[in-house]
Amino acid sequence: MLPTFYQQMTEKQSRYLCLLLFLFFCSPILQAQSASNTTIPSGEIKGPFLWKSQIYPGTERNYWIYVPQQYDADKPSCSMIVQDGLGRAKGWRLPQVLDSLIHLKKIPVVIGIFVDHGKVPASDPEAYPRFNRSFEYDALGDRYARFLIEELLPAVGKTYNLSTDPNDRSIAGASSGAICAFNAAWERPDAFSRVLSTIGTYVGMRGGDEFHTLVRKTEAKPLRIFLEDGNTDLNIYAGDWWMANQTMLSALTWAGYEVKHTWGTEGHNSKGGRKVLPEALQWLWQGYPKRVGNHPTDYKRLQLTTAGETWEKMDMNGLNASAMAVNEQGTIFFADNRSKGLYQLDKQGQPQLFKALSFEVGALAFGQNNELYLSNLDRKQIVKLDKAGKMRKLVRGLKATDMAVSSQGLYFTDPAGQRIGLYSFADQKTTYTPTPGVPGAICLSADQTFLNVSWVDKVLGHSYKIAEGGKLSFGQAYIHYHIPYGEALPAAQAITVDASNRTYTATSMGVQVADQLGRINFILSKTGKNTTAIQFGGEALAQLYLISDGQLYVRQLKTKGVLPWLPAIQPPKPKM
């Protein structure tokens, strides 16, 4: 039934009202359609193209290429990789948004690469394939990033001129595709700088619920991230999407990242992402071509790093470093088992031959009066090199892989015997402490009252009390290490300590820094695949050196190391 006021209107008045309502609701749509049809050039979508991966053996997947009309083959183009293929791109209306924003010069010229997850076809054509979506997207680690960098991008690059600069690359996804996009950039910030995440699956599907902790602890990476989610998103056995996205925002903000978010009321669908897409893309590319920052503030983190400082690869003159030690002056020494030489760094950081050797070195350590101890792997001995250049045998019958000198004696590892030895300076006798695992690396605490041990075959690092005479007692699994996704062990191969009694353990995830209570507070970025030695050195022992894949690296830190054969240092009281 019509309202009374409408019934009382004249026919002329009612027609006028209808016209006003029509103009109010419909004219903006008509204007937008007109502008779209006459002024915005449309890009071309090519594909699908089939890709069979080697990194994910047996998988097949389709991908599509969006090419804007403004693309110039003579200029390297920016790119945007979207997980879940053309379906996700259409769900966001991404091609139309790219058309508009590129035309209006709100973002640079961007080639879109819309890629599906992999499938392994079943041998029975009537059976379902093995769907790789969760395996590829929800998993942590660098495997999917390698698929993009080593396979897909080079394939697309054969046809289109794609920039390889991470500042020119963006990566996006929704749900599992969102955590996939973030993880690819997290693992390979040298390849991707800009991340769009909508309704991201930062929950316990395959370890994604650990991401917010890693973001807080790991040295900041040059990434810019846009997050979107709605308060009616999923809440299932793996976690609460809405809460997990807010936790990720909190972690990224706390760690000083360039991050922006939009929270809405949508559920687990593309609606929220579609609404925010124009805003998100403009923010992700804001200021381009200025580079995405490396977040030098780190204002709430452990204050170890200095703005602009990172790992510096040193000129090795073709040498291949293995073991490393530092003397009382802070001079770094290392062994090269290929050339059978012992080298020291001069004041310019150049390696100089210190002494030619006739054997392979397993470990190095300095002690009082700059006496140098070496593990001779060929003859299964530990020897001491005195100031006159003569070597004296101290311990026989083992291959020591790490050593640490105190004022009382020389500690060393014996992996084959699964024990830690102590050569006493007082009586020149050797005693052993059996260990629950294969010892990998050792260092004394700053106050010289405990010995820290990392293991070849165990997850947690140990702490041993140093009793009277240097004997070890009350060993305890004490240091908690983070483990790379899919690995069983942290690969803790080298350890050292600073004056605040923090331990620095070189692992496959990076240098994990633990406080005095054995909790990892910070993770310095990794430099290679296999780090075998770590040591404070240089002026005031304020530089951290490490050997990774035979190369020597150094960086300045806001702390300093200690020399365990000198008088002990009393660190600050531990914070509970």
pLDDT in tens, 384-410: 998 778 899 999 999 999 999 999 999
Residue 35 binned pLDDT confidence (cut-offs 50, 70, 90): very low
Residue 33 binned pLDDT confidence (cut-offs 50, 70, 90): very low
Q: List Cβ neighbours of 570 (8 Å cut-off, separation of 6 or more).
A: 446, 447
pLDDT for the residue numbered 4: 47
In a domain, 414, yes or no: yes
pLDDT for the residue numbered 25: 44
Average pLDDT, integer, range 173-192: 98
Which of 231, 266, 284 delimits the end of a domain? Answer: 284
Confidence (pTM): 0.90
Domain identity same for 346 and 273: no
What CATH number is given to the structural domain containing 187? 3.40.50.1820
Distance (Å, whole) CA 427 – CA 472: 17
pLDDT for the residue numbered 306: 79
> What percentage of the chain exceeds 90 in pLDDT?
86
Domain identity same for 362 and 492: yes
Domain identity same for 132 and 204: yes
**Residue recorded with tokens 């139309």:** 96
In a domain, 133, yes or no: yes
Domain identity same for 234 and 366: no
Domain identity same for 50 and 160: yes
Average pLDDT, integer, range 32-51: 79
pLDDT for the residue numbered 317: 92
What CATH number is given to the structural domain containing 323? 2.120.10.30
CA distances from 45 to 94, 99, 168, 236 (A): 11, 12, 20, 36
Chain centroid, CA 441 distance in Å:
23
pLDDT for the residue numbered 184: 98
Domain identity same for 392 and 516: yes
Domain coverage including residue 451: 312-556
pLDDT for the residue numbered 1: 44
48-70, pLDDT tens digit by residue? 999 999 999 999 999 999 999 99
Paired sense of beta strands 194-198 and 224-230, if any: parallel
In a domain, 11, yes or no: no
pLDDT for the residue numbered 501: 97
Domain identity same for 497 and 395: yes
> What percentage of the chain exceeds 70 in pLDDT?
92
Q: Say how many domains are in the chain.
A: 2
Q: Which tokens belong to 64?
A: 């599509």
Residue 187 binned pLDDT confidence (cut-offs 50, 70, 90): very high
In a domain, 244, yes or no: yes
Domain identity same for 333 and 203: no
Is a pLDDT exceeding 90 seen at residue 503?
Answer: yes
Residue 179 binned pLDDT confidence (cut-offs 50, 70, 90): very high
Length of the chain: 576
Residue 10 binned pLDDT confidence (cut-offs 50, 70, 90): low
First-to-last C-alpha distance (Å) of the chain: 73
Average pLDDT, integer, range 517-543: 93
Domain identity same for 429 and 500: yes
Is a pLDDT exceeding 60 seen at residue 334?
Answer: yes
Residue 16 binned pLDDT confidence (cut-offs 50, 70, 90): low
408-429, pLDDT tens digit by residue? 999 999 999 999 999 999 999 9
Average pLDDT, integer, range 320-343: 96
Paired sense of beta strands 341-345 and 332-336, if any: antiparallel
In a domain, 576, yes or no: no
157 vs 469, more confident = 157
In a domain, 23, yes or no: no
In a domain, 265, yes or no: yes
In a domain, 522, yes or no: yes
Residue 6 binned pLDDT confidence (cut-offs 50, 70, 90): very low
Residue 29 binned pLDDT confidence (cut-offs 50, 70, 90): very low
Is a pLDDT exceeding 70 seen at residue 344?
Answer: yes
Calculate the dihedral angle through the C-alpha atoms of 523, 524, 527, 529, rounding to the nearest 10 degrees: -10
Average pLDDT, integer, range 97-111: 98
Distance (Å, whole) CA 181 – CA 172: 5
Domain identity same for 249 and 316: no
Average pLDDT, integer, range 100-111: 98
Domain identity same for 209 and 326: no
Domain identity same for 405 and 322: yes
- Host H or E run for residue 354: strand 351-356
Distance (Å, whole) CA 479 – CA 500: 16
Distance (Å, whole) CA 513 – CA 495: 10
211-252, pLDDT tens digit by residue? 999 999 999 999 999 999 999 999 999 999 999 999 999 999
